[in-house]
Structure 1
Amino acid sequence: MRSQSEPAAAEPGAIARPPLVREFLLVAGLFLVYKFGRQLATGHTAEALHNAHRIWDLERTLHLPSEVDVQSALLHGDTLVHLANTYYATVHFPATLAFLVWLYLKRPAHYVWARRVLALVTAAALVLPFTFPLAPPRMLAASGLIDTARVYGPSVYGPPSSDHLSNQFAAMPSLHFGWALMVAIGMIAATRSRWRWLWLLHPAITLLVIVGTANHYWVDAIIATAMLGSALALIRPQTSSGGTPTSLRSPHRTATTAVRGTRRLVAEEPALVGAGR
């Protein structure tokens, strides 16, 4: 019989929580790469604006919903558009960081899987600004959209010519949306509550915000979804020695369902916004 002073044996097949210091450095590195990596691809203003016209024309050819309809709904009141700008400026990083911290503390196996997926998506997203620089729709006069953050505040960007903290010509893909979708997928996979599908509200609101504030095109979110789907297909959950996923509740099935729902969301969200006007 084990005495009360003896530590309890580890659960068979359980995945140990990774070392805290190492994970802190890895996650901090991920955020720094995201924040500063795309600055290396600056200096392509003319090409970025040319690509913006191409994307705008492509969306019209594909009969995608107009970003103008979403922005028009936000502009019905100063409070609503201000909230959208605030969500864009303040939720992206803290929500993703809180997601990783919670998984690290409560679901170590999910944490390792989610961190690897986010790292791969972020690394892949850094390639596109070099190969396809893209100005956001707020800079495209032909779109008829306004820069809501500049007009109503708060804004996280300065004039492109003097903004040394970000590359504003790296609109594709939208990591705002890609990370938000991964947060939802991870939380749905990691929890049992019947309300867990409400986590999809985070990427849904993020999609509405990034389009309505003229920071991204629909295509930016579609490309981010495709990249996330590819990362989820490549990175498998950690397994126990018997090969059965440990503490993971069908994350790939969750991911597939969420990605399919996102595709419908891109097509249907403007209609839903219009119905509420």
Structure 2
Amino acid sequence: MLIWGVLFAVGTYFIGVPTSDPLIAFGWLWLATIAWRSYLPWRQHLLFLRDWLPIALLLVVYNISRGYADDLFDPHVTELIHADEWMFGWFTGGEVPTTWLQQHLYQPGVVQWWEVVVTLVYVSHFLTVPTVAVILWVRSRAQWARFIRRWFTLCVFGLITYFVYPAAPPWWAYQHGFLSEHVERISTNGWDAIGLHGAGNTLNALQVEASNPVAAMPSLHTAWAMMAVAFFLPVVRRRWWPLLLAYPLAMTFTLVYTGEHYVIDVLVGWAYVAAVFLVVGLGERWWSNRVKLSA
């Protein structure tokens, strides 16, 4: 496991965080499971490919298809701005939270310590849910299946929304003249402060080449974070809930501050999580009852 950790750290430093391709990301995770359980025979390690390759391929299709999601309709912009102004204008002086936060916290050319934290929180989106899923796969395939069903359904719901309701984030709205106050896209600024320029370059390339710039509604960054937390809340003591919930809240601040999302995107993302847990939970109970009746 130590060898894997060293190789991963070196690769991250020189190449970047392996987020641009699901096949590469899951390749690293597969190697991690091999290093973690090196005592198992190879046929056991090959089970990872059986269970995970279809999911990785589906994520590849998801990444490719969402890039075309804005071809059907013009992106929605002003209604998102008005929603955030309506919710927070009383506090921000009529501005959207993104512009207010950047005016108070962001200094061009200077990387503050909190921007390092913000960047780490931002990039955790690409690593946290897959890592949690792999750990569940190692420990309990039944729990892994429950987690995957919710994750996959959430991605499908989000992708459908991107096609029928393309929505532009704050940085896009500013660049196209919909926001008068300056907004910078600063989600990867923190890498420079800790010397991981390669990681930042990889994410910047991913943002430019492989993403849909008007896929802001819902925010799957916060939706994934909330889904991962909500999955474990029923089995965690309530005194630990604030610690778990701090993660999606930190992701929310990160996305709004860095110009990636409006607050309304986040709230809709959380609503999608609730809907997914309800729909998938009902489906699981229906299937369980059907199996019992047929037994």
CA distance in 2, matches of 1:30, 1:194: 37
CA contact (8 A) 1:187 1:196 kept: no
Residue 22, structure 1, aligned to residue 50, structure 2 = yes
What percentage of residue pairs aligned between the two structures are identical? 22
Q: Which residue of 1 aligns with 2:137?
A: 104
Aligned-pair distance for 1:210?
A: 0.7
Cα deviation 1:155-201 (Å, max 9, x = unaligned): 634598xx331111111111110000011112333445853552212
Counterpart amino acid of residue 79 in structure 1: W
Aligned-pair distance for 1:211?
A: 0.6
CA contact (8 A) 1:71 1:211 kept: no
CA distance in 2, matches of 1:57, 1:169: 17
TM-score (normalised: structure 2): 0.63
Could you say what the CA RMSD is over the residues aligned between the two structures, in angstroms? 3.1
Q: Which residue of 1 aligns with 2:69?
A: 41
Counterpart amino acid of residue 264 in structure 2: V
CA contact (8 A) 1:146 1:214 kept: yes
Counterpart amino acid of residue 98 in structure 2: E
Q: Which residue of 2 aligns with 1:210?
A: 255
| Residues 29/92 of structure 1: CA separation in 2 closer, same or farther (3 Å cut) | same
The match for 1:80 among 95, 114, 124 is 114
Aligned-pair distance for 1:31?
A: 2.9
The match for 1:69 among 82, 100, 119 is 100
**How many residues are aligned here?**
218
Query: For structure 1, which runs of at least 5 residues remain unmatched after alignment?
Result: 1-18, 244-277
**Superposition map of 1:135-154 within 5 A:** 135-141=168-174, 142=179, 144=181, 145-149=183-187, 154=200
CA distance in 2, matches of 1:83, 1:167: 25
Aligned-pair distance for 1:226?
A: 1.2
Counterpart amino acid of residue 186 in structure 2: T
Query: For structure 2, which runs of at least 5 residues remain unmatched after alignment?
Result: 1-46, 92-96, 192-199, 290-295
TM-score (normalised: structure 1): 0.67
Counterpart amino acid of residue 182 in structure 1: M
Q: In proportion to residue count, which structure has more helix?
A: 2
Cα deviation 1:32-58 (Å, max 9, x = unaligned): 2442220122457x932xx22221023
Counterpart amino acid of residue 213 in structure 1: T
Q: Secondary structure at the match of 2:209?
A: coil
